[in-house]
Structure 1
Amino acid sequence: MSQTYSLQKSAKTDNEKKKSIKSIAIVGCGFVADYYLKTLPLHSGIQLVGVMDRNCDRASNFATYHGISHIYNSLEELLDDDRVDIVLNLTNPSSHYSVSLACLKAGKHVYSEKPLAMEMWQAEELATLAQQKGLYLSSAPCSLLGETAQTIWKALRENQLGTVRLVYAEMDDGLIHQMPYQKWVSESGIPWPYKDEFEVGCTLEHAGYYVTWLTAFFGPAETVTAFSSCLIPDKQTDVPLDINAPDFSVACIKFASGVVARLTCSIVAPHDHSLRIIGDRGILGIHDSWFYGTPVYIRRSINIGRKRLEGVWKQRYPLVKKAPKLGYRGAQQMDFCRGVAEMAEAIVNDRPCRLSTAFSLHNNELVLAIHNSLETGCTYKMTTSFETIEPMPWAK
C-alpha cells in the first residue's frame, strides 16, 4: 500500500515568519562543498553562518579559502547554535542518515546531498521524524528546478508532444577508473573521493538527476524492473575497495500516468547524458541534463508517400528563461544551492517546498530499487508516493 508523507506546517513565531533570510550551516567540507559555495551568492534568501567537518584540518582549510568566519568543533556545537535554521548535509553517503537524524532531533531543517539514505528504512525513519516535528527534509539533486528541466516540463504541459508514450534517459560517464581521477581536485584543493564514489556506485550517485525529472513530469512510479551489475570489479585503485557496487544499471520504470521510461546509468559506456521523450506528435530531446541552460529541441515526423520519416523537422523550444552563468568549468555547471534556497523560501512563506520530503523519499526508494537489483533482479513495486509538484513561478 502506498504511503504519502505530508509536510506539517512549522510552528513559527510572528517574528520568525517575517524573517526573509534563513541561516544555513554546512556539515561536510569535502569535494562537493565547493560547488555549493560557488553558487551561494546567487541566492539572497540564505546566508552561511558556519561549517563543520569531522576532519578539523579540512574544515579549517575550507573556511580559510572561502572566507568563512566560524568553524564548529563538533556537530553538537553546530546543533546548539540557535542561529542555524537549515543544515546542509554534505557528508559522505554512509553518514547521511546519522547526521540528518541528529539534525532533525535537534529541531533543524535538513537539506541532504543524495541519496537521502543508503537504506530505505533509514529514509522512512527520517521522513517520519520530519513529519512528526514539522520540519523540512529534502534531498539533492535540485536540477529539476533548473531552466532546462522547467522548460521541458512546460512543453509537456502545453501538450507539445501529444500523448507521451516512452522515455529514453542516459546517464553514462565513460570509463571513470581509466581517467586521471586522482588529479581531480575541487577549487579549495579537496581530492575527488574516488573510494566513496566507486563503493557507493553510479546509480546512487547519478540516477537521481533523471529520476527526479521523470517523477515530477509523469507522477509517481508504480513499478521498476531493473538489472545492475559490477562489470569491472577491479577499478585499479591504490587502496582496496570494500564494496563492489554496480557500475552499470538499466531500469524500466512504469509511472501511474501510463508513461514508461528506460533509464541507463554507468561508468563504463561513453559519456552520454541525453534524454528523449517520445510522444504521438513528436520527440523532445536534450543532449545533457547537467547543464541548466541546455537547449531543448522538438523533432516532428512527417509522412511522405508510403513512408514515415521520424524526427526530420527539428525545432528549438525556447528556454523559459536564461540560465545563469556559473563561472566554473566542466560538467559541474549546476546551481547546487538552488534546492536549499527554494527550501528556505518555502519556510519563510510557510508552504511545502517543491523537493518535498515525500518527493525525496519516493525518489530514494526508486533509485535504491535500481541499485539493489544487483541482488534482486526483479520487478519492484513502489510503496511510496507524493503529491503533485508545482513548477517554478517563472516557468508557468
Structure 2
Amino acid sequence: MKQVSLLGCGFVADLYMRSLQVMPGITVAAVHDRDADRLREFCAHWGLTACDTFEEFLAAAPAGGLILNLTNPAAHYALNLACLEAGHHVYSEKPLALEMDEARALHALATERGLMLASAPCSVLGEAAQTLGQALRRGIAGTPRAIYAELDDGFIPQAPHADWFSESGAPWPAGDEFRTGCTLEHAGYYLAWLIAWFGSVRTVVAASADTGADKGVAGPVAPDLAVATLFFEDGPVTRLTCSIVAPHDHSIRIVGDKGVLSCGAAWDNAAKVRFARRLTLRRRLMEHPFPRRLRLAKPTHPKVKRWGAAAMNFMLGPSELLDALDEGRPCRLSSDFALHLTEVTLAIQNAGEDAGAQRPARGLGAGRRNLGPARRPRRSRRARGPRGCGPRL
C-alpha cells in the first residue's frame, strides 16, 4: 500500500481527495492544516486522522515518503523547503514558489539530497494531453507550424465566488487567487503540455497587466491578463493567453501542414481531441467542417467525474512519483521540468509592459530524457512531426 501525506486542507485538497477515491492502492498517512477548525472539518468529512502541529505531521509522515503541499501559494516555498530538509519527497501545488531564486533553491536542495520534487499541474499525464501528444508524434497534422492556447476563465471578479465551497466546506480562496494571479495559477495547464511535447522554451515575449476590474480584496493584486508568444527548443511558435476577464475559453489549436488538431477543455482529462484536415473546395481553402475524433487505442487512467469547473484526476502526478519511487526509476515529472515550468510562468506573469524578449536561464537539461519514451520514434520523410514527446502513460 502506497501512502501520501497531505499538508493543507483548503479548497483544492478536496479535489485531491475526490481523485484519491478512484486510485486504488494509495492511502493518506498524515494530514495537517494550520487552521485547527478547517483541519477538523476536512478530516471528519473524509475520515482521516489529523496532526495538530506541523512537527507532529512531519513525524507522522512515512520516512522518505511523499508529501503533497496543498497550502496557500505564499507558503509553498517555506513548507516545500521544510519538507525536503526533513528528507521527504515533495509534490507541490502550483506554483512551486513565488520567486525564481526560491524555486532554484528548492531544486538545488532536492538534487543534493536525492529527493523527488515535482509541481502541479499533472494534466500532462491525462488522456487528452496524451492523445494530442500521440497525434503529434505520428504526424497526423503534418509538421506543426503554430499553436494557439487559451486559458480564459470568464469575468471572475463578478462571479458569485463567495458562494463557492468545496465538499468539506472550504471557501474558494478569492484573495489568494487574485493576489497570486491567474497566470501563476493556470498557465501550467497548457505550458506543461507544450514543454513536454517540444522541450524547453527558448524565448518568451510577453505582456501582462491588471485591467483594473474590482476584485473586492484589500491590497495589491496580480495581473489578470497575460499574453505570451513562446519560442520552443524544438517546436512551433505558440501564443498563450491567460485571463480572468475574457469570456471562458480553454481551447488549444495546433496548426499543421495537413490540418488542425484541437481540444476544447484543458481541465477535462477526457476532453475530445479532434483533427480537421485541410482541403480545397470550389477554389476555397478550408478545414474540414466535420473534424475526426482521435482516441488512444488502450484504456488510460482512472477518471474523476466533473466537480465545479474541472473533471481532472489530481492524483495522476502524485501517483507517478509513487510509482517511480516503487520502481526505482526517474520520475516523468522531474524537478528540472518543475523548475523550467516555474521560470517560464513567472516570466509571463511578471512581464508587464516592457519586458521584451526573455530567455529562460535554465532549460530542461538531462531531465528532458525523462519526459518521453526510452526510444525516440523514427521520423519519416513524408510527415516529420516534432522531435519532442511528452510523458507517456
Deviates more, 1:46-55 or 1:123-132: 46-55
User: Does the aligned pair in 2 maintain the 1:151–1:395 contact within 8 Å?
Assistant: no
Which of 62, 75, 80 is the matching residue for 1:83? 62
**Residue 315 of structure 2 is aligned with which of 316, 329, 337?**
337
Name the counterpart of 2:372: 390
Aligned residues, how many?
A: 372
Give the Cα–Cα distance (whole angstroms) in 1 for the partners of residues 248 and 82 of structure 2: 38
For 2:379, the equivalent position in structure 1 comes to none
Q: How many Å apart are 1:24 and its aligned residue?
A: 1.2
Instruction: Indicate conservation of the 8 Å contact 1:149/1:213, yes or no.
Output: yes
The answer to whether the 8 Å contact 2:133/2:390 transfers is no
Aligned counterparts of 2:391 and 2:199: Cα–Cα separation in 1:
21
Q: What is residue 259 of structure 1 aligned with on the other side?
A: 236
The answer for the alignment partner of 1:106 in structure 2 is: 86
Query: Structure 1's 324 and 258: CA in aligned 2 closer, same or farther, altered over 3 A?
Result: closer
Does the alignment pair 1:297 with 2:271?
Answer: no
Alpha-carbon displacement from aligned partner over 1:62-110 (angstroms, at most 9, x marks no partner): 0011000x21122222222352511100000010000000000000000
SS in 2 for 1:78: helix
Asked whether the equivalents of residues 168 and 275 of structure 1 are also in contact (C-alpha less than 8 Å), the reply is yes
1: CA distance between counterparts of 2:178 and 2:391? Answer: 38
SS at match of 2:261: strand
| Partner SS state of residue 350, structure 2 | helix
Match of 1:140 in 2: 120
Match of 2:50, as an amino acid? I
Runs of 5+ consecutive residues of structure 1 not aligned to the other structure? 1-20
Offset at residue 22 of structure 1 (A): 2.9
2:227 to 250, 261, 274: 250
Could you say if the C-alpha distance between residues 393 and 258 of structure 1 is closer, same or farther in structure 2, counting changes exceeding 3 Å? closer
* Secondary structure of 2:94 counterpart: coil
Instruction: Report matched runs for 1:60-79 at 5 Å.
Output: 60-68=40-48, 70-79=49-58
Residues 279 and 340 (structure 1), Cα distance of their counterparts in 2 relative to 1, 3 Å cut: same
Matched with 2:138 is 158
Give the TM-score normalised by structure 2.
Answer: 0.91
Q: Which moved more, 1:44-53 or 1:25-34?
A: 44-53
Note if 1:347 corresponds to 2:329: no
Q: Give distance in 1, aligned partners of 2:301 and 2:176.
A: 31
Task: Check conservation: 2:29, 2:61, Cα contact below 8 A.
Answer: no
The alignment-based identity, stated in percent, is 46
The question of whether the paired residues in 2 share the 8 Å contact of 1:203 and 1:249 is answered with yes
- The CA RMSD over aligned residues, in Å, is 1.9
Q: Secondary structure at the match of 1:37?
A: helix
Partners of 1:233 and 1:313 lie apart in 2 by 39
Q: 2:301 and 2:251 mapped to 1: Cα distance?
A: 19
Report the residue type matching 1:299 in the other structure.
Answer: A
Q: Which residue of 1 aligns with 2:97?
A: 117
Do the aligned partners of 1:90 and 1:112 also contact (CA within 8 Å) in 2? yes
Letter in 1 for 2:117: L
Structure 2: stretches of 5+ with no match in the other structure: 374-388
Matching residue of 2:129:
149
Contact in 2 for aligned 1:150/1:395 (Cα 8 Å): yes
CA distance in 1, matches of 2:2, 2:14: 20
Amino acid at match of 1:379: A
Q: Retained in 1: the 8 A contact 2:199–2:233? A: yes
Q: Given the superposition, is the C-alpha separation of residues 382 and 270 from structure 1 closer, same or farther in structure 2, using an over 3 Å criterion? A: same
Distance 2:334 2:391 in 1: 19
